[in-house]
């Protein structure tokens, strides 16, 4: 049976969407069944409409399904990707997480692989604390954290974050180094989860 992987992202300007797409491609290559999912936008539309890049990202991801608790129950593993906001995840991602109390209470998020990715406008913009805050949540669920660690040379080439892929968002496409890190992380998550469910 293939690993069932839910890749859940929030993306204001497109970086985390690109990251999630890169991870989905790599995970499928590793044999996983993947659901690429965005979380619901909670910002008022009139605010989004004042920023061209935000509105463009909303339009470019219009066909991406919105994550639900059913997707979380379905999956064997999770890969979350969120921009950092003041050292933690974006409020849109936190709002989705806050809908999962019922599943958590039933133990349906436990014993599943979990990994996380993030971005910020600068390398010291809270990327590591954002990843750690997602891992704190996963620990409460009883999920099994599968961080990339220093398990591939790609980690060093992209800045050396062992907690998860972390990209300096500059409005440009992902670099080859960033893509390599993301691909390694996604494949490692699939491989380790396959061992968990064997």
Alpha helices in the chain (DSSP H): 15-29, 45-48, 52-60, 69-74, 91-97, 101-105, 127-141, 153-157, 176-197
Average pLDDT of every residue of the chain: 95
Q: Which two tokens stand for residue 56?
A: 């463009």
Q: pLDDT tens, 70-90?
A: 999 999 999 999 999 999 999
Q: At what angle do helices 15-29 and 176-197 cross, to 10 degrees?
A: 50
* pLDDT at res. 143: 98
Which residues, 6 or more positions from 141, have their beta carbon under 8 angstroms from its beta carbon? 100, 104, 109, 110, 112, 114
Residue 116 confidence class, pLDDT cut points 50, 70, 90: very high
* pLDDT at res. 166: 94
Whether the pLDDT of residue 62 is over 90: the answer is yes
* pLDDT at res. 122: 84
* pLDDT at res. 16: 97
Whether the pLDDT of residue 180 is over 90: the answer is yes
Residue 157 confidence class, pLDDT cut points 50, 70, 90: confident
Phi, psi angles (nearest 5°) of residue 125? -90, 25
| Domains of the chain by start residue, with CATH | 4-197 (3.40.50.360)
What's the whole-model pTM score? 0.97
Give the pLDDT mean for 159-182.
Answer: 90
């Amino acid at each position: 049976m293939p690993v069932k992987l839910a890749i859940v992202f929030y993306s204001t300007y497109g970086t985390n969407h690109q990251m999630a797409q890169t991870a989905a491609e790599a995970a499928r290559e590793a044999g996983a069944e993947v659901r690429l999912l965005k979380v619901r936008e909670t910002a008022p539309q009139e605010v989004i409409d004042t920023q061209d890049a935000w509105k463009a990202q909303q339009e470019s991801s219009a066909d991406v399904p919105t994550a639900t608790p059913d997707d979380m129950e379905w999956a064997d593993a999770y890969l979350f990707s969120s921009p950092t906001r003041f050292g933690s995840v974006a409020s849109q991602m936190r709002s989705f997480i806050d809908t999962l109390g019922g599943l958590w209470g039933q133990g349906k998020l436990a014993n599943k692989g979990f990994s996380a990715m993030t971005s910020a406008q600068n390398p010291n913009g809270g990327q590591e604390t954002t990843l750690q805050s997602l891992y704190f949540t996963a620990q409460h669920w009883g999920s099994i954290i599968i961080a990339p660690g220093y398990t591939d040379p790609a980690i060093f080439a992209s800045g050396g974050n062992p907690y998860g892929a972390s990209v300096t968002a500059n409005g440009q496409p992902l670099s080859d180094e960033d893509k390599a890190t993301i691909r390694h992380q996604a494949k490692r998550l699939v491989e380790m989860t396959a061992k968990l469910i064997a």
